[in-house]
A and B are shown apart, each in its own frame.
Chain A
């Protein structure tokens, strides 16, 4: 896949079989496309982001008013604006070369991992559902439910150290799994389309947490704004370093990625997931229960998103707010797409987007470039990745589609 040089007599791209459904085609592009397309997409997205940063910079605009007499000034200002923003992004997420000790220079990297952990967990949930042919747009709601239950165990119950953390994590997993499982159950029993149900459940979850934070059981005593008490020390995911927020959640998430990989590639259940994703009718004919698969896959996907909620409330933030999901649910979709719905791809994509999140904060503070540019770059990356022909046309490269297609079936609302 990494071999980007086309062979001398490269056959034209294999034409997809005529019966291929569009989701199969999409999954084939998603899983079979070359790494080159990914890299080019990232480059293209960063370029467009750069244009946006430069064009909206007041300094650049001032100099552009006399562009025709001194064009160099405009370009210089544009270069400064873009390079300042992107270098702040880099030093904020990878390595800060202005720091003197190795530990402090690498602190941005720990921050990247902290941001990446919930993204990967939720992204795994979305990716797992993808493999069974389901669109899990509902990571947002599942994160919130996971955070509600984990948080409540964290500050509402007072258990011995060790046990407290385990119960809290399990509660979060259950919360997410229930919110996801409802979707699978409705899909299996009534045929309700999972995209509609998950979108709706996201909003139900948002209003639910907003309501809970106004009740006596959840609101921090003495606080006038809707925040919960801080979770007990015994329920917090332990942090590795003194001056970094990096916590045990990152290890959990790597274990989860391994678990998803094992499930999909090595277990009977994972085989059934993939079979149903490839062709539910064939899977049914082969004696698999499609309904049961939908319920299980959504339970597991919800549980993974719930893990992201656990990490937010027991690891990073340590108390509940109505913004606990912090847009992770929608970023998780882009992470899963960028990771081409494979467990390790999702980990890599989660690290990239975690780096963008981590670097965005110091970038906004240091250069005044709004952090929202991250959203633009992320969504552009995914758009370009989803349409490889477009990227190829822009860069005029020929990319060989390689790898085994992961077939999937996706029909419209009515399916």
Chain B
């Protein structure tokens, strides 16, 4: 991180703190807008229509599928991108920072332009696109929240992947053994706690490097779950690995809203727990005394200690809390979605969650937004893979990782970790 940000105060929710507005954002916007204008607009096939299904069969109000003339609409959206880029350039020239909403607007216009271009001559269901995106986002959101809870207190949590995997494994096994899915959910929390406990003991008690403990814990959980899967779960799936899935709970009235209703309010209890957790963590972190203490410990442990906050106790608790949250997210793989555990089920999602946390600037709402974006990109990739598009799916899958590299390199906006993140506190 460059020297000029060192003196900056603790970041509130994802606000731009740049002292001097940077030209990076307008330049990035301009390049992308140009790409959109040329590829999606000018070079797009003319005379094609892109059809988006809005309603599902069971909706109370039926809305006809939206048929758009591909090239003109993509062109229009690209021009919106160009306009945003121009406005951003004007703002920076006037000495003002580029606001977050402008970035969001740009992203939405760009993605829609891409979508209209990619779907030209085909039909996709907008609602199921979003449903799939949410399903892929849920573990990411839980994982990223786990990261936020740990890192705001100054402990780096690379072990999100392991916590997710442990949660997925233990929830499936316990739910099968007890025959009760909700006991399985509790087991998922316990599994996440266990991994977090080891992380906390090694990182805080024994002051082992946090990144190393995290990396090694991921390998350990992978090894243990793979081993037990091969030894027990695979040969005797009926006794060990057939938990089934949680029922979907419909929230009356809210699920009647077109598009949003079926996507958000016909979900399993894990997803509702996710909504609650995001809000709880956000409010607790930024609006309560507890949150102030946690952030103080993560930013300046010595000052916090001077004021009588027990730094390592706060950190220990937060790491455990983060583990519990990530463990619950792991249960979504098994109980929330597939209904059985399989080898290496988390498949790197813990690392995307880490990326989402960084991309979301260590704030719960930011992490939520980034996780939803990454989930959307992932689902878009598989949907477009089915209808066939000009872009290879592997490049879509790379997107979250490349965006994160851009984010940490300060090419788009600037991200800043809590000041004492990763540094153990030894009372002298």
Contact = CB atoms under 8 A, between A and B. Distances in A.
Interface of A: 18, 21-23, 25-26, 52, 56-58, 135, 137, 186, 189-193, 195-197, 199-201, 203-204, 207-208, 210-211, 214, 330, 333-334, 337, 369-370, 372-380, 382-383, 386-387, 389-390, 410-415
B126 interface: no
A383 B227 contact: no
A322 to B, nearest CB: 10
10 contacts: A22-B426, A57-B231, A58-B232, A196-B404, A207-B398, A337-B212, A370-B226, A372-B226, A373-B223, A383-B220
Contact of A413 (B208, B351, B421, B424): B421
A389 B401 contact: no
Contact of B227 (A137, A203, A372, A414): A372
B271 interface: no
Interface string B409-428: 11100001111111110101
B226 A192 contact: no
A386 B208 contact: yes
Given A207-B398, A412-B423, 7 more contacts: A195-B211, A214-B392, A214-B394, A337-B216, A386-B208, A387-B208, A414-B418
How many chain B residues sit at the interface, stated as a range, is: 35 or more
B13 interface: no
Which 8 pairs from chain A and chain B are nearest by CB? Answer: A412-B422, A375-B223, A370-B230, A372-B226, A413-B417, A211-B394, A376-B223, A412-B421
B398 A208 contact: yes
Given A22-B424, A333-B215, A334-B219, A192 B230 contact: no
B170 to A, nearest CB: 15
Contact of B228 (A56, A207, A210, A214): A56
B405 A192 contact: yes
A26 B209 contact: yes
Contacts of B230: 370, 372
A87 to B, nearest CB: 18
Contact of B219 (A135, A203, A379, A415): A379
Interface string B235-251: 10000000000000000
Given A412-B156, A413-B421, A376 B224 contact: yes
Contact of B202 (A18, A195, A383): A383
A410 B405 CA distance: 20
Nearest to B232: A56
SS class, residues of chain A in contact with chain B:
helix
A199 B226 contact: no
Contacts of B235: 58
A365 B57 CA distance: 52
B207 A22 contact: yes
A389 B205 CA distance: 10
A299 B354 CA distance: 25
Contacts of A378: 219, 223
Contacts of A412: 154, 156, 417-423
Nearest to A410: B209
Contacts of B281: none
A367 B148 CA distance: 44
B217 A379 contact: yes
A199 B223 contact: no
Nearest to B422: A412
Contacts of B219: 330, 334, 375, 378-379
Contacts of B217: 379, 383
Contacts of A211: 392, 394-395
Contacts of B411: 190
Contact of B1 (A56, A137, A373, A415): A415
A379 B409 contact: no
Contacts of B351: 199-200, 203
B355 A411 contact: no
B101 interface: no
Contact of A200 (B2, B202, B228, B355): B355
Contacts of A376: 220, 223-224, 227
B416 A204 contact: no
A411 B232 contact: no
A390 to B, nearest CB: 6
A214 B392 CA distance: 10
Nearest to B425: A22
A375 B220 contact: yes
Contact of B348 (A137, A203, A379, A411): A203
A192 B408 contact: yes
B209 A186 contact: no
A192 to B, nearest CB: 4
